[in-house]
């Protein structure tokens, strides 16, 4: 059975009403209706049917006839009005419904606001995701580039170490080859010098016997003749460089006190060597100053409790004098890239660039408490200094380890970093670095890891220099490590 049509559709409603009325009238007219006052026979089209078909009403009520009328179906035209108004609703329910409606509208507005906020957040998140993807791709590119550069740098470092190792081996082999080539020649010269010294010793012994006289006048006369003979004999020999060594020997025999101070010989010798002192020996240059010598020059020293003689330059005109110069750099004429044995014994020219020697320094600083003064000069003529109130060296068994006191001065402290460090050379690596600092700094020094000062490095002209390593003559607190100083001197003096 189909459901009735909704009120909101008029065409369907008309059709439904027509069918309903037709069915209702048909059922109504087919019923047996009792009409009072009607009689006689029935005529018309239905007479025969009435006779043939008995009627139920005739059984119940005799003498009465029933009729069936078929009313033609009427078409309904126009709108059919339907009263759909229900009974008046309850006012409290209406108010509740309105309140619920307002609440739902408010929730709807809130949800709409949240939806707008969520929409803006979604847009921001999408933008951030795009930026993040772009950044991730850029980071991946940078990482790949960095990885490539690191691999390339590592390969370059390995190649550099290999080349440095090859260069160091080649340098060592060249040095050995030169030593081997010069060995015979040096051996010959050594033999010649030994024989010359032996003959000179014999000659001096004979002259000493001749100089032993009691009369002072006779001794002075013999001394003048003896000194003139000695100088003439030695100076005319082909080994002129050994002349200073002979003078040192003459100063420690009785000829020194008896015969060797004639006016002719002293004047002649000072003319040849104006910076050489013929007196001594002294403990150090302060002892020289206390003895009345006020001229800077080369003096003969013999430290206490040391069976050794040495010559050093005494500086008597700077900082109250009495300074024993242990190192000097001024023109680059001497190569300071030397071996352990050379740094131990000393090298260079006493009136120019030289290194006094670690062994001599050990014996000098052992006899008293000394202070150190480092004088520096740049290429613009500015002069500064650094002083340390104590300075001494440990013996060779402890690799001439540096012991340094407190600093004061105008140059800045670039040596305290090397305090308590052993001395390192090309062939004796005693520094704290994995490699040999002397190889990179091109000198010998109390290296650590590696240097804040390198006064025995390469003397570069002009100040600032370009080199693969910081190997110049520098003092880090004064112009930095890439500036090679013009003049440098290290001096010690008892406190």
With a CB cutoff of 8 Å and minimum separation 6, the contacts of 276 are: 244, 247, 269, 270, 297, 298
With a CB cutoff of 8 Å and minimum separation 6, the contacts of 491 are: 315, 323, 324, 325, 326, 372, 373, 375
Element of type H or E holding 215: none
Highest mean pLDDT (candidates 243-247, 301-305, 327-331): 327-331
Q: Rounded distance, CA 230 to CA 217, Å? A: 20
pLDDT per position as a tens digit, 317-340: 999 999 999 999 999 999 999 999
C-alpha angle with apex 274: 243 to 199, nearest 5 degrees?
10
Residue pair 357/345 in contact (Cβ under 8 Å)? The answer is: yes
What is the full DSSP assignment across 355-381? E--HHHHHHHHHSS-EEEEEEEE-TT-
| pLDDT for position 47 | 44
Write the DSSP symbol of residue 83: -
Q: Rounded distance, CA 204 to CA 258, Å? A: 13
Tell how many helices (H) and how many strands (E) occur in the chain.
12, 12
Provide the terminal-to-terminal Cα distance of the chain, rounded to the nearest Å: 133
3-state secondary structure of 15: helix
C-alpha angle with apex 492: 343 to 406, nearest 5 degrees?
105
| pLDDT for position 114 | 85
pLDDT per position as a tens digit, 103-121: 998 888 888 888 888 888 8
Q: Tokens 């000198």, residue?
A: 443
pTM above 0.85, yes or no: no
Write the DSSP symbol of residue 260: S
| pLDDT for position 162 | 87
Half-sphere exposure of residue 397: CA atoms within 13 angstroms, side-chain side: 0
Residue pair 453/474 in contact (Cβ under 8 Å)? The answer is: yes
pLDDT per position as a tens digit, 403-440: 999 999 999 999 999 999 999 999 999 999 999 999 99
| Least confident segment among 20-34, 43-57, 80-94, 249-263 | 249-263
Task: Report residue 366: phi and psi, to 5°.
Answer: -80, -25
Residue pair 325/348 in contact (Cβ under 8 Å)? The answer is: no
pLDDT per position as a tens digit, 5-24: 444 445 555 566 666 666 66
Residue pair 450/441 in contact (Cβ under 8 Å)? The answer is: yes
Mean pLDDT of 34-49: 43
Q: Rounded distance, CA 11 to CA 19, Å? A: 13
User: How many angstroms from the chain centroid is the CA of residue 489?
Assistant: 33
Q: Rounded distance, CA 96 to CA 102, Å? A: 10
Q: In 10 A of CB 426, how many CB atoms?
A: 21
Element of type H or E holding 158: helix 91-211
Mean pLDDT of 160-184: 77
| pLDDT for position 285 | 95
Q: Which residue from 291, 191, 312, 202 is spatially nearest to 248, judged by alpha carbons? A: 312
- What residue ranges in 192-259 does DSSP mark as E strands? none
| pLDDT for position 89 | 55
């Amino acid at each position: 059975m189909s459901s009735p049509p909704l009120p909101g559709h008029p065409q369907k409603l008309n059709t439904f009403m027509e069918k309903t009325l037709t069915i209702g009238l048909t059922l109504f007219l087919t019923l047996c209706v009792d009409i009072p006052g009607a009689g006689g026979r029935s005529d018309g089209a239905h007479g025969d049917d009435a006779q043939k078909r008995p009627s139920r009403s005739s059984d119940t009520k005799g003498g009465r006839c029933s009729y069936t009328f078929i009313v033609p179906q009427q078409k309904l035209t126009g709108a059919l009005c339907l009263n759909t108004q229900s009974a008046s609703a309850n006012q409290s329910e209406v108010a509740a419904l309105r309140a619920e409606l307002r609440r739902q509208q408010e929730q709807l507005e809130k949800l709409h606001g949240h939806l707008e906020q969520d929409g803006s957040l979604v847009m921001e998140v999408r933008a951030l995701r795009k930026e993040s993807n772009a950044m991730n791709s850029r980071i991946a590119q940078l990482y790949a580039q960095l990885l490539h550069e690191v691999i390339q740098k590592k390969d370059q470092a390995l190649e550099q170490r290999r080349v440095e190792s090859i260069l160091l081996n080649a340098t060592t082999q060249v040095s050995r080859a030169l030593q081997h080539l010069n060995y015979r020649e040096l051996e010959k010269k050594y033999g010649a010098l030994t024989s010359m010294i032996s003959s000179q010793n014999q000659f001096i012994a004979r002259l000493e016997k001749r100089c032993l006289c009691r009369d002072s006048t006779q001794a002075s006369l013999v001394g003048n003749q003896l000194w003139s003979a000695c100088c003439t004999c030695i100076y005319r020999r082909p080994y002129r460089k050994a002349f200073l060594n002979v003078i040192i020997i003459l100063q420690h025999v009785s000829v020194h006190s008896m015969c060797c101070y004639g006016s002719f010989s002293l004047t002649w010798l000072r003319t040849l060597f104006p910076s050489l002192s013929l007196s001594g020996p002294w403990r150090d240059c302060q002892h020289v100053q206390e003895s009345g010598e006020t001229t800077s020059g080369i003096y003969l020293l013999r430290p206490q409790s040391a069976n050794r003689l040495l010559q050093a330059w005494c500086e008597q005109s700077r900082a109250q004098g009495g300074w024993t110069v242990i190192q000097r750099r001024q023109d680059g004429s001497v190569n300071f890239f030397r071996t352990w044995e050379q740094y131990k014994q000393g090298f260079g020219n006493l009136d120019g660039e030289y290194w006094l020697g670690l062994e001599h320094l050990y014996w000098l600083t052992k006899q008293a408490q000394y202070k150190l003064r480092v004088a520096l000069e740049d290429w613009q003529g500015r002069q500064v200094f650094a002083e340390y109130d104590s300075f001494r060296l440990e013996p060779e068994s402890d690799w001439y380890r540096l012991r340094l006191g407190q600093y004061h001065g105008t140059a800045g402290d670039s040596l305290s970093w090397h305090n308590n460090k052993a001395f390192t050379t090309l062939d004796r690596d005693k520094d704290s670095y994995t490699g040999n600092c002397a190889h990179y700094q091109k000198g010998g020094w109390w290296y650590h890891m590696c240097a804040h000062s390198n006064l025995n490095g390469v003397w570069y002209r002009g100040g600032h220099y370009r080199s693969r390593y910081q190997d110049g003559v520098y003092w880090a607190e004064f112009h930095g490590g890439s500036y090679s100083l013009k003049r440098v001197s290290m001096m010690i003096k008892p406190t």
